[in-house]
Structure 1
Amino acid sequence: MKRSVHCAAMAAALLLGVSLATGARAEITYTNELGGKGGGHFEDSCNPGDFLVGFNWTAGKALNTVSPLCVVQKNGKWAGQPYRRRTWGQPAERIGGVAAPFINGSHKCNPDQFVTALHVWWDKFGIVHHVEVFCHDVSRSKKYVYQTDTQGGEPSHDGSAPCPTGQFGIGIHGGYGALIDRIGLKCQTLAP
């Protein structure tokens, strides 16, 4: 009887250890949202198990829209082509009914790299001006950096929103209205 109780206790401890280890890998972290205080909240994530590799965006004098680009990953490598999530904000040509000059852009990490951090500049009105995006491979031995462009405007503040070491972007969160008011990363451990 003692042996079966001991075996049952060992099995329960093993299951608890496995579920705690699995839970640690699935832990999600939110970076700070950088920018102003306006706009309604948004959050957009890649499909479960997929990771953030870039953005489609539009900009006039500030960042008008942003759409996360995600990719399926297997063993820390891209498994297929990036796919787009929802677009947040409004294209420049739809604001105020005037066809303002704007830029359409699309940037993504190099193959087998994932987003690890954002550096955000915002203007005196609390609107995101532009974003610099940092990408790394799983071992963090290779880095690639790109940034969104604008048609003018002036940033007056900036800050960084990095994922914790060992985590990579799985989505974005922030505030938006007609423009992107603030932005941050949603991060998770990528276990190869």
Structure 2
Amino acid sequence: MNFSRNKLSIPVCSSSRRPSRRKKKHQRTQRTFRHARPHQAARSGGIPHGISIRSRPAQIEDRALPGHWEGDLIVGANQSAIATIVDRSTRFTVLCKIKDKRAETVTRALVEQMRQLPVQPRRSLIWDRGVELSAHRHFSTATNMAVYFCDPCSPWQLGNNENTNDLLRQYLPKKQAWPTIRSASLMTLPPS
């Protein structure tokens, strides 16, 4: 019996990379595998007077003190949005319903939510490069918190928040509109 390299590699290589439908049904994200996204050019405009994440103090990076927050938006259908703010050390999460993604609306809603917290755990906020927080100076003066912005196309700099958003997507799917959800009912989501 003669074996060649080609005959041996056929059974190994012929198996599909995609899991079966039965396996896919039990995965948390319900997708087969990740696809690379094309690189997008930077938009003009940006954040006026934004402070880079690289210029923040070193004590924020070691996650020893509570009060340093990471924030982002979860967007659903019909421009409905929910702001998620996660503490870097305790992973305490604050959810806030947003009417639209305009900077004034987002900033006003974030100020209301952060003022409900005691003064001690309000030290700094790290946000991505979205224009929804371009009114960060108003947020800083209203809450007495420094605001730092991530580097462009670097979501891993908000690791806690990105992980929390992925877990929240189980209860708040992308294709669903959230017009009936109120900020008070967001706190009743099941713990992940």
TM-score (norm: length of structure 1): 0.28
Greater fraction of residues in helix: 2
Greater fraction of residues in strand: 1
The higher-RCO structure (CA 8 Å, 6+ apart) is: 1
